[in-house]
Amino acid sequence: MNKIGLIIRREFLSRVKKKSFIIMTILAPILFAGLMIVPGLMATMGDKEEKVIAVIDETNILDGVFHNDDHLSFEYIDNSSLGDIKDSFKESGYYAILFIPTNILTVERVQLYSDKQTTIGVNTHISSDLNRFFEKIRLQQENVPIDILERVKSNVKVETKQWTSTGEEKSSSAGLASGIGYGAGFLIYFFIFMYGAQVMRGVMEEKSSRIVEVIVSSVKPFQLMMGKVVGVALVGLTQFLLWIILTLVLIMGAQMLLVGDSGSSSSQEIAQSVMESRTGGTMQELDISELEQVFQDISGAIESVPVGLLIGSFLFFFLGGYLLYASLFAAIGSAVDNETDTQQFMLPITIPLILGIFVMINAMQAPHAPLAFWFSIIPLTSPIVMMVRIPFGVPAWELALSASLLILCFLGTIWLAGKIYRTGILMYGKKVNYAELWKWIRYKN
């Protein structure tokens, strides 16, 4: 195995074998998947028991106001007082007692008694039923006919269509496009920082443990630096890949579990239950056909997004941005003796990255504005900003320009960083400033 291969291997293995890497790799997908699954899981599994609520209606006008569903039903009790039912609550098997006072129309307040904390789902169920009832009554008091009430309900949605160069129309989704772009741009930002810092710390570790001179007597300093940069990049890609695979496995596993439980094979069911749980049960009003429409739109929009281009450019801009910044991080690590000294040199690296994030957020609103254009061309911010523009469609020449500038720029920074690194790793106990770095760059060898 050649030397740079050996270095890459060590850098990769020593990081992948670390406990922190393993924990991060396993925990993150559980978190991701959890965020997607748990609401649905709660909706379908959490509330399996039949709940019966006893209703004591002192006004006698609320008959039939509360609708029953799979898990919740209402039983009107006429001849008992609140006290009686409370006394026999344990034996009755009721989940709760809903007490409607005579003055409900003025106070707009009901009481729900139970020996346990009632769930939000139950509470919103009751309040939304009552709200609708009040709405109806009030409108009737204002002499608005009920059929008008039904007719004024509306639910307008905007369908977006996008032309392609061939003039063909495609469904698109602005939300989805910016979502994907934002996710990709942010991931690149996050990875550059996380793994760039790892490169820097690795260099500082070699320097402070004094092993570096031993190693550079066997390999060129540049080989050591690039071995580290590439090794850490592989760690990043591995982690990223594992995250995707584990998240998918977890989601699929949970889906199978859910589907098995509800006896339905439709994934829309799950999506529906997720939505239901998010909107607190009011989803019932949206009928299923409408929901299906939403899903068809989304999948149509996904087709409109150039997936291959997205993945390809994500990998390219991720690696390009990483190489650009990681070599600078390596140079910083080589120039200082300890972590606190890194601050002054971190600033010029941090500023373009954070600027990139700001412009990215702006570019989601205006992906073709001059601001977004220029920042997606300038190499220091292009990996972040270009990613958010791609789902909205970017001319090929812009992509090519941005990509080639990025390549030129990272070759430049690697060369520059190599010069600083070569001198820095063997320099101890010296307060380094920018003038000093400039001298190092000009050293011939």
Query: What is the contact surface with other proteins in residues (CB under 8 A)?
Result: 1, 3, 6-7, 10, 14, 205-206, 209-211, 213-221, 426, 428, 439, 443-445
As measured in angstroms, the least distance from the Cβ of 332 to other proteins is 20
Q: 3-class SS at 443?
A: coil
Which one, 95 or 421, has the nearer CB to other proteins?
421
Nearer to other proteins, 184 or 225 (CB): 225
State the Cα torsion 163-168-174-180 to the nearest 10°. -110
Question: In angstroms, rounded to a whole number, what is the distance separating the alpha carbons of residues 336 and 352?
Answer: 22
Q: In the bound complex, what is the minimum distance in angstroms from residue 340's beta carbon to other proteins?
A: 20
Work out how close the CB of 7 gets to other proteins at its nearest, in angstroms, rounded to a whole number: 8
Q: Give whichever of 120 and 426 is closer to other proteins, judged by the CB atom.
A: 426
Minimum distance from residue 444 beta carbon to other proteins (Å): 7
Residue 6 or residue 250: which is nearer to other proteins going by CB?
6
Pairing of strands 96-100, 72-76: unpaired
Q: Which is nearer to other proteins, 178 or 334 (CB)?
A: 334
Spatial separation of the C-alpha atoms in residues 384 and 413, rounded to whole Å = 18
- Local structure of 143: helix, strand or coil: coil
* Closer CB to other proteins, 10 or 109, in the complex: 10
Query: Exposed, middle or buried, 35 (CB in 10 Å: 0-12/13-18/19+)?
Result: exposed
Distances (CA, A) of 283 to 71, 155, 175, 291, 358: 15, 13, 21, 9, 36
Residue from 303, 304, 251 nearest 274 by CA:
251
Q: H or E segment at 122?
A: helix 120-141
CB 213 to other proteins: min, Å: 4
**Minimum distance between the CB of residue 224 and other proteins, rounded to whole angstroms?**
9
Tokens 């934002």 appear where?
Answer: 182
